[in-house]
Amino acid sequence: MSKLLRLYNSWDQYSCGDFETKDEVMLSNIKRSSSSQMSRHSSRSSSESFYSNATIDNAVLFKDVKMSYGKGKKSVNVLKGINMKVPEGAIYALLGPSGCGKTTLCNCITGRNKPTQGTVEVFKKIPGTPGSNVPGPIIGYMPQEISLFPDFSIEETLMYFSKLYRLDPARAADRVDFLVDFLELPDKRRMVANLSGGQQRRVSLAAALIHSPPLLILDEPTVGVDPVLRQVIWDYLVLLSTKERLSIIITTHYIEEARAANVCGLMRQGKLLVEESPDFLMEKYKCPTLEAVFLQLSRASDSKSTPEVYVHQYQQHQQQQQQLDSKPPVPNGGLPILQEVSAEGCDTTTTTIGAGDAMNQTVIAAGTGVAIMGPPQTTQEQHRAPTMKQLAKEKQALNQAKSDALKASAPGGKMPNGESIEGVVNGRLVPKFERFQIEAVPKSKFEAFSQETTRSFNRIGALTSKNFARLMRNLPVLLFQFMLPSVEVILFCLCIGQEPFNLPLSIYNEELHLLNESLVERTSTFSYQYLNEINNRSVIQVNYNSKLEAIEAVKEGKTWGAVVIGENFTDNLKTRFLQPEMVSDDLISGGNVHLHLDMSNYLISLQLQRILLQAFQTFAMNTMAAFNVSKGLAQLPVEQEKPIYGDREPTFTEFMAPGVLLSIAFLAAVALTAIALVQERKEGVLERSLVAGVTSTEFIMSHVITQLLVLHVQVFLLLMFTFLVFEIPSRGYFFWVILLTLLQSSCGMAFGLMISAMTKEETSATMLALGSFYPNLLLSGTVWPTQAMPDAMRYFAYCLPQTLPIESLRYILSRGWDITHAEVATGFAVTIAWTTFFLIVAVVVFKAKI
């Protein structure tokens, strides 16, 4: 054992010299792991093809797969006749530059893409077919992007994915604890947003491993990860593939890192150039690195020739190397020699570097890496020095001894939590890998339907709990969503529909100017009595000394109108009613009240006319009573009886209330959901959820369930302030008011989900939501009756989702009707129809875009 320890220390000193980087140490370790794995996986020689063993089953199989996007001339071929085999229990490294089709190929495996031609099999079943469980739990997927919820903790993130896969809660908790410890993550309660980029990537890897799937697809899993931890991850993946026959597909830009894989697949321009074991490829194409092999294959692909034509260049390089090795040491004062192997055809150049203590090293550069091999040695020392292969074997033996000792120290051969021990990685006990248990294939269609329904409800439950957790994560925003509709209806009830008041009105009463200051004379005039009947709350009378001044005040905007009364107003009015035979046009004009109104504001001018006419009506009736004449003579010969529906003097608030109530409920729900799916897509977790088996329908339904809770609170507060606080009259059965408001709110929610499914950016979704506001407000009959619209426009308005429901609510509130009346039932039917239509479109569009 002491000898092994000395060898171990000498290896560390030898491979981690002053000039060697951590990445180079990691690459050396990966090579050793690869050699160890290959020796355990089979007894074949390193130069033997990995596919020579016909007994190995394939986890993934591609048969002449072609994939293209677009149609006609715009069609782009992404995959071009891919034939690929991923052996079960092997690590398959997929190498290739960006845009070569690696992601599309992985999407074909996960069932996200369907090939244009050819077939893809995952565990001998075609993805997307019944019983294939793809998309589903047999795949653990880690995309290249982080793809995590930033407002979730590490534990919440991993538990969310465990719920999607129907993992037992106790088992899920154990897996979370193990993965957090094994991947050296911080406290599991820390938010993902507060993690570093490398830590977030490790959480992403943990999410792919949480349910122990039989097939792992990892897209750049070790980018941005510490080299030591990168080695630990690779050791764990090797352990899983060798002992549990876990199939792993890894895409990576670290070409030399792929040496740890059983099989390397090299892709370029949509074609799979070759797939074989790394050692077999390097032996076959006579190159020391995979990068050089990839270069030869790429050149052959471009020139449409065979890769073997480039082997001759490497043979020349070998001859040069042998000549250099056979020569005696160069009398160069011990200066080191730099042997550089270029990437093009494995050519070799030799360079002498300057002297100095820091540079007294022999440096050999191969392909893309530089390995510091230690100080120059004499011939005798070189014979005594152990070879790299010997050191690797000896360190492997030492690691195995340490692993055996650590296993033996475990009480009862178990983990602290009672689980069986799988192995030792980086000095840590690894629990037994319990592969995800796939449910038995159903024997009948009913059993299959029941099984899929159960899974679907489970996934909807996981998605819904995730949505609720995210809602509760930001309570201020949630409270704002609750209160916003209530604030809007409060503002409406306070500010809309009330009568204008304190309106300044110019008064020129010429009759009073000609009288003395006697109060009795002034109050006895009809002009004084009439002006006294005007409502002082609504109108502020401003007296002027001339007609010209009164009218000028209106022109200058100081008052809303001018009332001018002639000098003989009282006498002319008496003659007009008591001596009608003496009436002339001048007498009638002298007995009139002359109004000069500012008609620029329709509602105010209409209000002033009503106030002044009502005041004159009251004055005339009082005057008739003073002369012992029936008051009826002062009234128009039209008598208004008790209204059949509503009040004698309805307010504009009552007219607008149904439209405002349903519009607020509808648009508040649109605001809730208009960006929901957009955010899901941009965060990237949607892709992982879809690979886990979630469907577009389940995604939409989870948001529907979540938002319904918010909608119920919104509607409750909305109705409370409208009918209890501000006492808007409701003459019908209030249940129909609640139901119609909830249905309209649900319709708005569905409309928002449709917008969210159709758009890719929050800005576009917001513009569509806001753009629908004014047409809806103007055409729904909220502000003005639809009966005032042109015929064609009115019929179009009736087709909108709010026009007829607003009319129905108006009938319920003002007439007291219920759903037995066709006019009311139509509003309910239209709301349900539009809600269904919006949801169907949302599901279809969302499915087409994801």
pLDDT of residue 386 exceeding 70, the answer is no
- Do 77 and 270 meet the contact criterion of CB atoms below 8 Å apart? yes
CATH, range 51-138+216-286: 3.40.50.300
CB 312 within 8 Å of CB 332: no
- What pLDDT is recorded for position 585? 87
Query: For the purposes of burial, counting CB atoms within 10 Å of the CB of 103, is it exposed (0-12), middle (13-18) or buried (19 or more)?
Result: middle
pLDDT recorded at residue 223 = 75
Question: In this predicted structure, what is the pLDDT of residue 55?
Answer: 60
302 vs 515, residue with greater confidence: 302
Span of 542-551, 632-641, 660-669, 686-695 with lowest mean pLDDT: 632-641
- Among residues 204, 272, 255, which one has the least CA distance to residue 233? 204
Confidence band (pLDDT; 50, 70, 90) for 673?
Answer: very high
State pLDDT tens for residues 688-739.
Answer: 999 999 999 999 999 999 999 999 999 999 999 999 999 999 999 999 999 9
More reliable by pLDDT, 424 or 194: 194
Name the amino acid, one letter, at 52. S
Residue 245 has pLDDT above 90, yes or no: no
**Percent of the chain predicted with pLDDT > 70:** 76
- What is the mean pLDDT of the segment spanning 21-33? 42
Structure tokens at 767: 């513009």
Q: How far is CA 137 from each of CA 9, 163, 218, 459, 501, rounded to the nearest angstrom? A: 44, 11, 15, 11, 69
Cα separation, 418 vs 829, whole angstroms: 60
Kindly state the greatest CA–CA separation across the chain.
150
Angle, CA of 204, 205 and 206, to the nearest 5°: 90
**What is the DSSP code (8-state) at residue 442?**
P
CB 279 within 8 A of CB 39: no
CATH number for the region 503-634 comes to 3.40.1710
Radius of gyration from C-alpha coordinates of the chain: 43
Query: Are β-strands 421-425 and 428-431 bridged in parallel, bridged antiparallel, or unpaired?
Result: antiparallel
Q: Strands across the sheet with 76-87, in order?
A: 76-87, 58-69, 117-122
Give the whole-angstrom CA distance, residue 405 versus residue 399: 10
Q: What is the pLDDT of residue 488?
A: 94
* 56, 91, 274 from 37: Cα distances, Å: 16, 10, 21
Quick one: pLDDT at residue 315? 55
| pTM, entire model | 0.77
Mean pLDDT over the full length of the chain: 81
Q: Which residues contact 848 (CB under 8 A, 6 or more apart)?
A: none
Q: Given this model, what pLDDT does residue 753 score? A: 96
Using the CB atoms, write b or e for 809-822: b if 16+ within 10 Å: bbbbbbbebebeee
Dihedral, 650, 656, 661, 664 alpha carbons, nearest 10? -160
Secondary structure of residue 136 in the 3-state scheme: coil
Which of the residue ranges 33-37, 719-723, 785-789, 822-826 would you say has the lowest mean pLDDT? 33-37
Is 758:679 a contact under the CB 8 Å cutoff?
no
State how far the Cα of 145 lies from the Cα of 203, in Å rounded to an integer: 12
What does the alpha-carbon distance between residue 160 and residue 206 come to, in Å, rounded to a whole number?
12
| Cα separation, 294 vs 307, whole angstroms | 10
> Per-residue pLDDT averaged across 450-462, rounded?
93
Report yes or no: 797 and 779 within 8 Å, Cβ to Cβ.
Answer: yes
Q: Are strands 263-268 and 428-431 parallel, antiparallel or unpaired?
A: unpaired
CA pair distance 378, 385, nearest whole angstrom? 10
Contact 375, 362 (CB under 8 A): yes
What is residue 443's predicted lDDT score, i.e. its pLDDT? Answer: 76
Domain ranges of the chain: 51-138+216-286, 147-212, 503-634, 652-847
3-state secondary structure of 594: strand
Q: Which pLDDT score, from 0 to 100, does residue 432 have?
A: 58
Q: What pLDDT does residue 826 have? A: 97
Angle between helices 803-810 and 822-849 (to 10 degrees): 150
Q: What is the amino acid identity at position 48?
A: E
Instruction: Determine which of 6-10, 207-211, 755-759 has the lowest per-residue pLDDT on average.
Output: 6-10
Tens-place pLDDT, residues 491-543: 999 999 888 999 999 999 998 876 665 666 678 889 999 999 998 889 999 99
Q: Do 51-138+216-286 and 503-634 come out as alike in CATH topology?
A: no
pLDDT at 413 (0 to 100): 53
pLDDT at 440 over 70: no
Instruction: Please report the pLDDT score of residue 391 as a whole number.
Output: 47
pLDDT tens digits, one per residue of 552-592: 999 999 999 999 999 889 988 888 877 888 888 888 888 89
Contacts of 583 (CB under 8 A, 6+ apart): 575, 576
Q: What is the pLDDT of residues 314-337, one digit of tens each?
A: 556 556 666 655 555 544 444 444
Distance CA 768, CA 755 (A): 7
